[in-house]
Amino acid sequence: MSRVLALALFVTMSSAVSGSAALAQTAVGGQVSSFKDTSMLKPPPGARVAIIEWEDLECPACAHAFPLVHQAIAHYHIPLVRYDFLIPGHMWSKQAAVYARYIQDKVSPDIATEYRREVFASQFRIASQDDLVKFTQQFFAAHGKQMPFVVDPTGELLKQVEADRNLGDKLGLNETPTIVIVTPKGWIQVKDVSDLYQAIDQAEAMAGSGAATVHRTSARK
């Protein structure tokens, strides 16, 4: 199938609503998600290009995207800004996100990434909260750690997860994964993860050019 990059041009709003969704959009070859406030779609300080991703640990499509996204950040040497976006009806993804935050803060960010990787790979084995607890206990043991009896006694980690979800609501997310390649000059939404490298190439060209700010969606025709 041919690959087409759909262009969506956003009209800048007044300064009172700067960074909000544009007044008008046009698209060729694919439908841009109906984002609301896109002010957070920018790379971290010092980065020319970055990937922003919202994921749910119980989402099969996120499990499929995970290795491809991490291969891409290693290949292009660009940062990944990851957010949790909880899908209503998923039984254990909220608690899994809390466990991942605990591991990131108290053990190691790399081990937290490995935890997410293994959760995604083991979704078929995790059917309940109890299954998740057993899986996580085994993960801790395999890394020479003991899982605390109460992982989030103050509720602070859950607040962080909910803050991610609220940011996704502010953007207007309606699906996971939502993957966006961001530059200081604009962003490209990746609707099909197999187009990820193409979108990053486009973003790097955008970041290095003198072109005006544009926002695009990478999609298959």
What rounded mean pLDDT belongs to the chain? Answer: 85
- Residues 178-220 have pLDDT tens digits of 999 999 999 999 999 999 999 999 999 988 865 555 566 665 5
Examine the pLDDT at 134 and tell me if it is beyond 80. yes
Higher pLDDT, 31 or 130: 130
Spatial separation of the C-alpha atoms in residues 98 and 112, rounded to whole Å? 11
8 Å CB contact between 49 and 181: yes
Residue 187, φ and ψ in degrees, nearest 5: -145, 160
Specify the pTM.
0.83
Q: Is the dihedral of CA 191, 197, 203, 206 positive or negative?
A: negative
Domain 3-220, CATH among 3.90.1150.10, 3.20.20.20, 3.40.50.970, 3.40.30.10: 3.40.30.10
- Residues 27-79 have pLDDT tens digits of 222 466 889 999 999 999 999 999 999 999 999 999 999 999 999 999 999 99
Q: What pLDDT is recorded for position 33?
A: 81
